A = this chain, B = another copy of it.
Amino acid sequence: MKNPLLAPELRDYLESGNDEALTLFLDSGHPRVIADFLSALTPSEAWKILSVGDLSLAAEIFSEMDEWFQADIAETLSRQELAHLVTEMAHDDRVDLLGRIPENRRLRILSALAVAEREDIRKLSAYDEGSAGSVMTSDYATLSPELTAVEAIDKLRHEAPDKETIYYAYVLDGKRRLIGFVSLKDLILAPPHEKVEEIMNLGVISVRVSDDQEFAAREIQKYGLIALPVINGGDALVGIITHDDAIDIITKEHTEDLEKFMAIQGSHDAASYLRTPALTHFKNRVFWVVGLAATGLISGGILHHFEATLSSLMILALYMPMLADTGGNTGSQSATVVIRALALNEITAKDMLQVLWKELRIALMLATVLAAVAWFKVELLSGGTPLPGGFTLTQVGGAIVLALAIQVVTSTLVGALLPLGAARLKLDPAVVASPALTTVVDITGLLIYFTCARVILGV
């Protein structure tokens, strides 16, 4: 986010070579605040100011900038400058940055790095998109079990500048297997010469590199952790995911869930709304919309089948949209509530009967109210119109209202049932996109409508 408030002053300082003022500025607040101020300048101006301070602060501020501004700055840097910057960045942030740089340039930068850094980047970039491994960082603090509390604090003090967090330190055995953890608070509270193995907490909460990133974020939420260790197939510690990354993952997943539910494809890694080309937006949306339009062939076919009924009793056509809309609305509501309850672990697929019983009662109440509204509507709009075939308004209105009530109950239950079914099949409940649900209840709605008309009116 650009903050143009200080841009004129910063440009002044740059032109007059007032490095003292710039150094003070770089240290005057949270790196994110400084990053926002710098983002209002050109990439090369921002870099000139960053390079006035020390490199580790520059790397911290740089990491807080928007991804595209980072990439723009990276383009203005020499290979050596960029290699130095990358070396100072947090291990997860630099993997993200390098992933956004064109491949031939990336390879040249990598070759300018120390072997250990290169190897670390290679390892971290190797995990599947969306896995815990792909969002972890490798700059965590470790301790061996035989250190004393004092020695441990001393070790953490020396390593602190290079670590993402020193508030949790992980205790490893000779094979780098995770056997416990200590918090800095535990170490400070412990008698100075007590050993780490006596202080450490057993039963560490951890995830595997291959676990889903959302699962990892939910573990951080569930246990209120500052960092969550990530282990590989051999139980060796390979990374941590920190609390701030967990919030970002959860926000991103919420966006994707909402968009999935609204039948939009695509992921939310790279670009913001305005940066994404119209063609990509189009591609994300077209699949489902066309799919649903194609499925509309079924309701189209049903309508054609009952064309004679509609022709003989035109009034029925006038209330079709009401039936479709109401069914879509009530079905989407129950689907929304059930999908969220599943996502928040309030219910599981096993609670299906309980959920259906609750939704049935809700649906009957909704149906009663909506039927009354529909009756009022028929009286108001069609009260004066003479009806063909000797039908009374009460008869026709009765058929319409009955169909509406049945439709409300059906679509509420279908809306609850589809996500529960998806969960039982181990699918993401949000695949039951609201437009897809609307299409389904359109079809059931038409069948209910014409069946009611046939039974009550005999048409």
Q: Which A residues are within 8 Å of any B CB, using their own CB? A: 1, 28-30, 32-33, 153, 156-157, 160-161, 166-167, 184-185, 188-189, 202-203, 205, 220-226, 242-244, 246-248, 250-251, 254-255, 257-259, 261-264, 272-274, 278-279, 281-282, 285-286, 288-290, 292-294, 296-297, 299-301, 303-304, 307, 310-311, 314, 317-322, 324-326, 328-330, 332-333, 336-338, 340-341, 344-347, 351, 354-355, 358, 361-362, 365-366, 369-370, 373-374, 377, 380-382, 385, 434-435, 438-439, 442
Alpha-carbon separation in the docked complex, A33 to B204 (Å): 11
Q: Which residue of B lies closest to A288 (CB)?
A: B329
Whether A344 pairs with B157 at a CB distance below 8 angstroms is: no
Distance in angstroms from A420 CB to nearest chain B CB is 12
Q: Is the CB of A248 within 8 A of B223?
A: no
Closest Cβ–Cβ distance, residue A253 to chain B (whole Å): 9
**B438 and A325 form a contact (CB under 8 A):** yes
Known contacts being A346-B273, A365-B278, is A203 close to B30, with CB within 8 Å?
yes
A sample of 11 more A-B contacts (CB under 8 A), given A274-B347, A290-B369, is A30-B205, A157-B189, A160-B188, A221-B251, A259-B337, A262-B333, A263-B332, A278-B358, A285-B362, A300-B319, A321-B321
A289-B329, A370-B289 known; A340-B223 Cβ under 8 A: no
The answer to whether B381 and A300 touch across the interface, beta carbons within 8 angstroms, is yes
Closest to A306 in B: B318
A354→B272 CA distance, assembly (Å):
13
- Whether B361 and A278, one on each chain, are in contact in the complex, defined by CB atoms closer than 8 angstroms, is yes
A337–B28 CB distance below 8 A: no
Q: State the Cβ distance, A444 to closest chain B Cβ, in Å.
A: 13
| Chain B CB within 10 A, most for which of A1, A188, A220 | A188
Complex contact A258–B321 (CB within 8 A): no
B residues within 8 A CB of A380? Answer: 297
Cβ B351 vs Cβ A274 within 8 A: yes
Q: How many copies does the complex hold?
A: 2
A259's nearest neighbour on chain B, judged by CB, is: B336
Q: Is the CB of B307 within 8 A of A354?
A: no
Decide yes or no: A156 and B188 within 8 Å by CB, A226-B243, A243-B226, A373-B294 being known contacts. Answer: yes
Contact (Cβ within 8 A) A189 B160: yes
Contact B321–A299 (Cβ < 8 Å)? yes
Complex interface: chain B residues within 8 A of A32 (CB): 222-224
- Which chain B positions have C-beta within 8 A of A320? 317, 320-321
- Distance between Cα atoms of A439 and B322 in the complex (Å): 10
Residue contact B300 to A322, C-beta cutoff 8 Å = yes
Which of B203, B258, B362 is the one whose CB lies under 8 Å from A281?
B362
Query: Are A442 and B321 closer than 8 Å at their CB atoms?
Result: yes
State A262–B419 Cα separation when bound (angstroms). 16
- CB neighbours (8 Å) of A369 from chain B are 286, 289-290
| A336→B434 CA distance, assembly (Å) | 12
User: Is A434's CB under 8 angstroms from B332's CB?
Assistant: yes
Q: Which B residues are in CB contact (< 8 Å) with A274?
A: 341, 346-347, 351, 354-355, 358
Instruction: Considering the complex, give the chain B residue whose CB is closest to the CB of A252.
Output: B344
Task: Given A355-B274, A365-B279, decide whether A304 and B318 contact each other with a Cβ distance below 8 A.
Answer: yes
Task: Give the docked Cα–Cα distance between A157 and B192 (Å).
Answer: 12
- Across the A-B interface, give the 6 residue pairs with the lowest CB-CB distance, nearest first: A29-B203, A224-B244, A273-B341, A272-B346, A262-B336, A278-B361
